[in-house]
Structure 1
Amino acid sequence: MKIYNKLVRDKIPQIIEGDGKKCDIRIASKGEQAELLENKLQEEVNEFIEDKNIEELADIMEVLFGLAKNLGFSEKELIKKRDEKKDERGGFEEGIVLKKVLD
């Protein structure tokens, strides 16, 4: 038996049971979900830093959507805000490094 005590995607219990195993789950309160999502974000960022693949980036995105929902925002609102900020301040495509600002 392996103990996890961490937030997992919604279909993980069915996937585990589909593999012929049993699992013990509980539903976190909304307040607890915020902390669990923050922990999950750190976990997924660490996995991306180690593996550097699109699957880990997708996992980070899913956690961000979960955090937005927990704060009362939709995926659409999060993407809209991202687009607004990109239009106003740009993205990170050019690799610009700010060395200093002179007075």
Structure 2
Amino acid sequence: MGEILYNKLIRDEIPTIIEESHKKCVTKRVTGEELMQLLNEKLTEEVEEYLESNSIEELADILEVIHGIVHHRNIEFDDLEEMRAKKKDERGGFLKGAKLIKVY
């Protein structure tokens, strides 16, 4: 079996899962700007997968990446949720299905 090159951010337990399937992998610990870049790329990947599948599982993956971004930016998730709720109170959410056509 040949090598497969991924070069992307993976979930924390993936190396263990790979080894338990009697395969080997090479990983690298990333931090700082490189980690944030990879998290942003992972967010884009997961959003694209959701748009293709409309799967709740993909929504969960998006949320997990957001948790990672929040953690590595030293933001409390509760603070993010508070900001979301404040914006919803001020401007509403996306529950009514309103589409803006034009303003004049």
* 1:100 lines up with 2:102 in the alignment: yes
Q: Does 1:62 align with 2:64?
A: yes
Structure 2 length as normaliser, TM-score? 0.90
Aligned counterparts of 1:49 and 1:22: Cα–Cα separation in 2? 32
Alignment correspondent of 2:23: 21
Please point out which of 3, 6, 10 is paired with 2:5.
Answer: 3
TM-score of the superposed pair, with normalisation by structure 1: 0.91
Distance in 2 separating the partners of 1:95 and 1:86: 14
Whether the aligned pair in 2 keeps the contact of 1:65 and 1:78 (CA below 8 Å) is no
Q: Distance in 1 between matches of 2:96 and 2:21?
A: 45
CA RMSD of aligned residues (A): 1.2
% identity of equivalent residues: 47
After the TM superposition, list the runs of 4 or more consecutive aligned residues in structure 1 that deviate by more than 6 angstroms: none
- CA shift, 1:70, in A, is 2.2
| Equivalent residue, structure 1, for 2:35 | 33
Does 2:91 correspond to 1:89?
Answer: yes
Structure 2 residues not aligned, in runs of 5+:
none
Tell me the SS of whatever aligns to 2:80: helix
